[in-house]
Amino acid sequence: MKIEVLGTGCKNCNALEAAARQALQQLGMDVPIDKVTDYGEIVAYGVMSTPALAIDGEIKTTGRVPSVREITDLLEGATV
């Protein structure tokens, strides 16, 4: 499974990374989080508002920091 956080390091982007880490910890999943900070890459994904979360190359949320609960739901959905 691949987890990516798209964003350029503003407060929200860091918050998303932190929330994602927490979610992974809660589920006991040991998956590294890749940070995508290059604008070209971010837009190539089709993302216009950061921060964004991608699981296995698929964008799941954009423009906001989802709750840890929402991320765990998404992660569980992706492992099914």
Partner 1 sequence: MSIFLPEPGTRRSSVNLWGLVVAAGFAWVVGYLLNGQFWDLVVYDVVGLDPDTRLGEAVHFFVYDTTKILLLLGGIIFIVTVLRSFVTIERTRALLGGRSEGLGNVAAAGLGVVTPFCSCSAVPAFIGFVAAGVPLGITLSFLIASPMVNEVAVILILGMFGWKVAVLYVVFGLLVAIVAGYVLGRLRLERWVEPFVFETKLRGDVIEPSTEMPWEDRIAFGWQEVKSVVGKIWPYLLVGIALGAAIHGWVPDELFAQWAGSGNPLAVPIAVLVGIPLYSSAAGVVPLVQALADKGVALGTVLAFMMAVVALSLPEMILLRRVLKPKLLATFVAVVGTGILAVGYLFNVVI
Q: How many CB atoms lie within 10 A of CB 48?
A: 10
How many angstroms from the chain centroid is the CA of residue 19? 9
Residues in the chain: 80
Catalytic residue among 5, 13, 23, 55: 13
Q: Under rule CB under 8 A, which residues in 1-30 are in contact with partner 1?
A: 7-8, 10, 12-13
72 near partner 1 (CB under 8 A):
no
Q: How many CB atoms lie within 10 A of CB 28?
A: 6
47 near partner 1 (CB under 8 A):
yes
By CB under 8 A, name the one of 35, 62, 68, 78 that touches partner 1: 62
Q: Which is nearer to partner 1, 8 or 79 (CB)?
A: 8
User: 3-class DSSP state for residue 69?
Assistant: helix
